């Protein structure tokens, strides 16, 4: 065992050992979340206070998806700005003033922190408060960090949503909040099912614009749709809201258990549940049945990337018959993923964090049929004859809920088919 690795047994009902690694890692920083968040929150603008590297990341990662004037940008602080913090704050104020004058459609402005130490020293929380006062009530200014030192990939969304929570209006009525950003069509499907169950006051964090943000209070309940929302969960609990615990809504079983947790929490009858879910469940089962033969018995290895790994592994092993070798995740919050972990019939290596060289050795030794990994690892692994699946696709493709169950399985069938075709 290397000095960067140790196995810890976590307490709790599912006493599963977790291999903890703290070495070199190959994961995007939290700025990546802006790519989907700027599409989701229609009146928001993300101003990254960062370096040219940050600007390049956003342009290259998101550039292809932009068809209108983008709703994110980078305030690049030059050396001269950083020489004195007063100058840096003035520069930031100027950037914000220009932006808001040019773009009156912006109602929510996020100042997003990044890596350079000078940016870290710049107190963006203070800047956001000061600017909020200046532009109140037209624009709400918030801040969060997408820095690669503090965040990986999907943690950027967590930081963004957590920053929104204190600004949500207080409610003293019972309501349900779905937490995590989803493609609109998937969000609508889940809300429709919950409405049909009889829960009518349902909203989503993040709302599609400033007027559609949820209200929150001690009678609010919330359920996560994404497993990477640790800080957001804490922030909502601090506001008095109660989390409904459930496995995540991937596949037929995951979606059913997720909806069933809502059913239980709101005291809805089983008969009603059957009535509402029978048809979409059947569709999902039929869709999955078509693909199970291609995945049954195939082995899979997950490198840590999006924090979706544990719920996806549960779906692939239980609903598609795949064999899990290792399930790596950048960070594991047991209280959020325990419901998924408890469902695993066979416990694979569960690893948290990364020491990329050690993990590559384990992966190559186990020769999995599919390896889920980041873009940087995919090419070298393919060159060694392994079949890979880009983890980032799982974040950008609609995969939640009954109607997407087949598409989700299909994402794993495709690389296997490609491999077979190459071998013929
Ligand atoms: S890792 Fe840091 S410097 Fe690099 S793009 Fe992300 S925030 Fe910017």
How much is the mean pLDDT over the chain?
90
- Kindly report, residue by residue over 153-183, the tens digit of the pLDDT: 899 999 999 999 999 999 999 999 999 999 9
d(CA 118, ligand 1 centre) in Å: 13
Distance of CA 63 to the CA centre of its chain: 20
Ligand 1 nearest atom to the CA of residue 50, by list position? 8
d(CA 248, ligand 1 centre) in Å: 30
d(CA 316, ligand 1 centre) in Å: 33
Residue 305 sits in which domain range? Answer: 5-26+290-423
Answer yes or no: do 249 and 364 share one domain.
Answer: no
Task: Judge whether 281 lies within some domain.
Answer: no
Ligand 1 nearest atom to the CA of residue 29, by list position? 6
Q: What is the mean pLDDT of residues 340-368?
A: 94
Our count of domains for the chain comes to 3
Ligand 1 nearest atom to the CA of residue 57, by list position? 5
For 386, residues 6+ apart whose C-beta sits below 8 A from its C-beta are 363, 364, 367, 368, 371
Q: Residue 57's pLDDT is what?
A: 83
d(CA 156, ligand 1 centre) in Å: 12
Q: Where are the alpha helices (DSSP H) in 31-84?
A: 34-40, 52-62, 79-83
Q: By mean pLDDT, which of 19-33, 74-88, 363-377 is the weakest?
A: 74-88
Q: Residue 231's pLDDT is what?
A: 97
Q: Which of 151, 186, 221 is the last residue of a domain?
A: 151
* Element spanning 355, H or E: none
Question: Quick check: 227 pLDDT over 80?
Answer: yes
Which protein residue's CA is at the shortest distance from atom 3 of ligand 1?
115
Ligand 1 nearest atom to the CA of residue 53, by list position? 5
Q: Residue for token digits 């592994």? A: 313
Answer yes or no: do 380 and 317 share one domain.
Answer: yes
Q: Which protein residues are within 6 Å of ligand 1, measured from CB?
A: 29, 31, 50-51, 53-54, 57, 114-115, 146-148
CA neighbor of 362 nearest in space, from 381, 346, 341: 381
Answer yes or no: do 22 and 46 share one domain.
Answer: no
Q: Which of 236, 271, 306 is the last residue of a domain?
A: 271
- Kindly report, residue by residue over 135-147, the tens digit of the pLDDT: 999 999 999 999 9
Task: Judge whether 388 lies within some domain.
Answer: yes
Q: Using a pLDDT cut of 90, give the percent of the chain over it.
A: 73
CA neighbor of 362 nearest in space, from 283, 311, 304, 418: 304
Ligand 1 nearest atom to the CA of residue 146, by list position? 7
Task: Judge whether 362 lies within some domain.
Answer: yes
Judging by beta carbons within 10 Å of its beta carbon (0-12, 13-18, 19+), is residue 51 exposed, middle or buried? middle
Q: Residue 111's pLDDT is what?
A: 94
Look up the pTM and report it: 0.93
Task: Judge whether 279 lies within some domain.
Answer: no
Q: Which of 271, 300, 316 is the last residue of a domain?
A: 271
Q: Using a pLDDT cut of 70, give the percent of the chain over it.
A: 91
Which protein residue's CA is at the shortest distance from atom 1 of ligand 1?
148
Which protein residue's CA is at the shortest distance from atom 5 of ligand 1?
54
Answer yes or no: do 113 and 216 share one domain.
Answer: no
Ligand 1 nearest atom to the CA of residue 114, by list position? 7
Backbone phi, then psi, for 169, in 5-degree steps? -70, 150
d(CA 145, ligand 1 centre) in Å: 10
Question: Quick check: 384 pLDDT over 60?
Answer: yes
Task: Judge whether 68 lies within some domain.
Answer: yes
Question: Quick check: 53 pLDDT over 90?
Answer: no
Task: Judge whether 210 lies within some domain.
Answer: yes
Q: What is the mean pLDDT of residues 214-237?
A: 98
Answer yes or no: do 35 and 22 share one domain.
Answer: no
Task: Judge whether 358 lies within some domain.
Answer: yes
Answer yes or no: do 358 and 405 share one domain.
Answer: yes
d(CA 58, ligand 1 centre) in Å: 10
CATH of the domain at 396: 3.40.50.1980
Q: How far apart are CA 251 and CA 262, in angstroms?
A: 17
Task: Judge whether 156 lies within some domain.
Answer: no
Answer yes or no: do 295 and 261 share one domain.
Answer: no
Answer yes or no: do 196 and 250 share one domain.
Answer: yes
d(CA 76, ligand 1 centre) in Å: 12
Ligand 1 nearest atom to the CA of residue 116, by list position? 3
Q: Residue 54's pLDDT is what?
A: 86
d(CA 54, ligand 1 centre) in Å: 5
Answer yes or no: do 226 and 241 share one domain.
Answer: yes
Answer yes or no: do 41 and 22 share one domain.
Answer: no
Dihedral, CA atoms, 191, 183, 137, 241, nearest 10 degrees? Answer: 50
Answer yes or no: do 260 and 355 share one domain.
Answer: no
Q: Residue 1's pLDDT is what?
A: 46
Q: Residue 8's pLDDT is what?
A: 60
Answer yes or no: do 299 and 357 share one domain.
Answer: yes
Q: Residue 222's pLDDT is what?
A: 98
Q: What is the mean pLDDT of residues 284-291?
A: 98
Question: Quick check: 70 pLDDT over 50?
Answer: yes
For 52, residues 6+ apart whose C-beta sits below 8 A from its C-beta are 76
């Amino acid at each position: 065992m290397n000095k960067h690795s140790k196995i810890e047994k976590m307490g709790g009902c599912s006493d599963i050992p977790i291999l903890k690694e703290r070495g070199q890692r190959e994961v995007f920083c939290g700025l990546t979340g802006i790519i989907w968040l700027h599409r989701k929150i229609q009146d928001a603008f993300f101003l990254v206070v960062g370096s040219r590297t940050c600007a390049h990341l956003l342009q290259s990662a998101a550039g292809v998806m932009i068809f209108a004037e983008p709703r994110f940008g980078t305030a690049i602080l030059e050396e001269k700005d950083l020489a004195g913090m007063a100058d840096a704050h003035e520069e930031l104020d100027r950037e914000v003033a220009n932006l808001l004058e040019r773009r009156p459609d912006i109602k929510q402005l996020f100042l997003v922190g990044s890596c350079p130490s000078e940016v870290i020293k710049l107190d963006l929380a203070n800047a956001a408060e000061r600017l909020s006062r200046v532009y109140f009530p037209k624009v709400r200014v918030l801040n969060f960090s997408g820095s690669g030192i503090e965040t990986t990939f999907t943690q950027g969304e967590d930081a963004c949503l957590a920053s929104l929570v204190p600004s949500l209006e207080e409610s003293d009525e019972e309501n349900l909040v779905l937490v995590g950003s989803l493609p609109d069509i998937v969000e609508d499907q889940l809300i429709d099912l919950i409405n049909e169950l009889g829960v009518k006051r349902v909203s989503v964090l993040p709302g599609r614009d400033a007027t559609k943000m949820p209200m929150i209070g001690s009678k609010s309940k919330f359920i996560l749709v994404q497993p990477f929302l640790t800080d957001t969960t804490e922030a909502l609990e601090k506001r008095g809201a109660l989390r409904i615990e459930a496995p995540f809504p991937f596949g037929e079983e995951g979606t059913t258990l997720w909806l069933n947790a809502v059913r239980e929490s709101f005291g809805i009858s089983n008969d009603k549940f059957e009535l509402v879910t029978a048809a979409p469940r059947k569709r999902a089962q039929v869709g999955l049945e078509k693909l199970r033969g291609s995945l049954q018995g195939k082995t899979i290895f997950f490198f840590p990337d999006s924090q979706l790994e544990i719920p996806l592994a549960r779906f692939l092993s239980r609903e598609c018959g795949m064999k899990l070798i290792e399930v790596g995740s950048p960070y594991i919050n047991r209280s959020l993923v325990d419901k998924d972990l408890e469902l695993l019939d066979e416990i694979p290596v569960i690893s948290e964090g990364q020491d990329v060289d050690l993990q590559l050795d384990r992966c190559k030794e186990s020769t999995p049929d599919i390896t889920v990994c980041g873009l940087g690892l995919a090419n070298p692994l393919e060159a060694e004859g392994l079949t890979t699946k880009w983890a980032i696709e799982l974040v950008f493709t609609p995969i939640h809920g009954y109607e997407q169950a087949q598409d989700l399985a299909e994402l794993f069938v495709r690389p296997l088919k490609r491999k077979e075709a190459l071998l013929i």
